[in-house]
Structure 1
């Protein structure tokens, strides 16, 4: 989802900008800068993942303004790097999309709330739920946090942006359902599959690179 220039009233843009800036500030304060500064492998992974996000977000499709579709890739980012670095990386990618003209500058941060903050939050909250309430099993982590979490993040991003467009009177509920909501399941499945495949590879070959995964709990103690 991206909000083109002049699509929404200014109070949505200002509110979105305030929310995004507050969360971004907290992410900057919470990020493990000392670890990142001393780990060249982590630096290369983060920079490479940011570049890959830009490629994914560059490839998008849509009919009406604000109803674009593209892969998010934020579930794997959140699980591998944590919510703070995922937001920082996605912010860089978001600015890159504005530079190349795929996002409008005035709606950039509101778009970030829907397509960055909410998907990262949904993935992180689901991960916390799995950690607290579900059995410590490798496949539970993989399928619930990875596959299901990615599909959920796509749904959250799409529905939140759709709700804003309806509440602001840009489109009717019928138009949103006809042009976007009914296609959400078709978006959620490949999003879950893509993130799940990446997460599977990471957990099999380099589980120590996944920040949210404790190999001792999920593998050694089983």
Structure 2
């Protein structure tokens, strides 16, 4: 995703960049690196690389408006919120470099495509764990399918609001033409996230840090 820096005031670009760097530092400090095993590191790095490749399959409609799979929900469920934030920040910088994007807007893009989806996914995961008994179908349909769709919808709403506030595009164009497309994109985001996480929890549950097969698949 490439947000043109010319759309935004300098103070917002600086503030978003500084807050993003501070958030990444906080995430790196909060992650329990010493407890990670080789399997967890491998799954995290593999998911990150696949996500970077997936981002190249995008449709850039207008400046600041692109449609592609986010992948933040899958990354959060596989690696946890802290490593997911670090990966999203690094991958976003790499993607801007590969596509010739405006690196000055990296902080804003990170908050939209990284922080918001990771936060919504982790919040829904904690909600489900606190409100429902451990159940495989709750995990798959709520924390994978639903969380994937919600992350895309929140991203689309936030992106349209941001572009509206900066007067980059008219409200009719953003909310009547672009926002419905983001709503439709929520379904492939949900399907791809849910399908891949379902396969992983069945064949490689040790790759998914948010899933405990002894807890979710215990005999009752």
Q: Same fold (TM over 0.5)?
A: yes
List per-residue Cα deviations over 1:127-160 (Å, max 9, x = no partner): 0100111232110111000000000011111111
Tell me the distance in 1 between the aligned counterparts of 2:182 and 2:142. Answer: 19
Q: Does the residue aligned with 1:28 lie in a helix, a strand or coil?
A: helix
Q: Does the residue aligned with 1:63 lie in a helix, a strand or coil?
A: strand
Tell me the distance in 1 between the aligned counterparts of 2:44 and 2:136. Answer: 24
What pairs with 1:6-21 in structure 2 (closer than 5 Å)? Answer: 6-21=6-21
List per-residue Cα deviations over 1:50-108 (Å, max 9, x = no partner): 11111111221132211111111111110111001111112221111121125310001
What pairs with 1:191-210 in structure 2 (closer than 5 Å)? Answer: 191-210=189-208
Residues 106 and 50 of structure 1: CA distance in aligned 2, closer, same or farther (over 3 Å): same
What pairs with 1:42-81 in structure 2 (closer than 5 Å)? Answer: 42-81=40-79
Aligned residues: 220
Q: Does the residue aligned with 2:67 lie in a helix, a strand or coil?
A: coil
Identify the residue that residue 165 of structure 2 maps to in structure 1.
167
Q: Does the residue aligned with 1:106 lie in a helix, a strand or coil?
A: helix
Identify the residue that residue 136 of structure 1 maps to in structure 2.
134
Tell me the distance in 1 between the aligned counterparts of 2:84 and 2:100. Answer: 20
List per-residue Cα deviations over 1:106-127 (Å, max 9, x = no partner): 0011101000010000000000
Q: Structure 1: state its 5+ residue gaps.
A: none
Tell me the distance in 2 between the aligned counterparts of 1:102 and 1:35. Answer: 37
Equivalent residue in structure 2 for 1:176, among 171, 174, 180: 174
CA contact (8 A) 1:4 1:66 kept: yes
Q: Does the residue aligned with 2:60 lie in a helix, a strand or coil?
A: coil
Tell me the distance in 2 between the aligned counterparts of 1:156 and 1:18. Answer: 23
Question: Which 4+ runs in 1 deviate beyond 3 A?
Answer: none
Q: Does the residue aligned with 1:71 lie in a helix, a strand or coil?
A: coil
Q: Structure 2: state its 5+ residue gaps.
A: none
Q: Considering only aligned residues, what root-mean-square deviation do their CA atoms show, in Å? A: 1.5
List per-residue Cα deviations over 1:22-49 (Å, max 9, x = no partner): 221111001121134xx33333222221
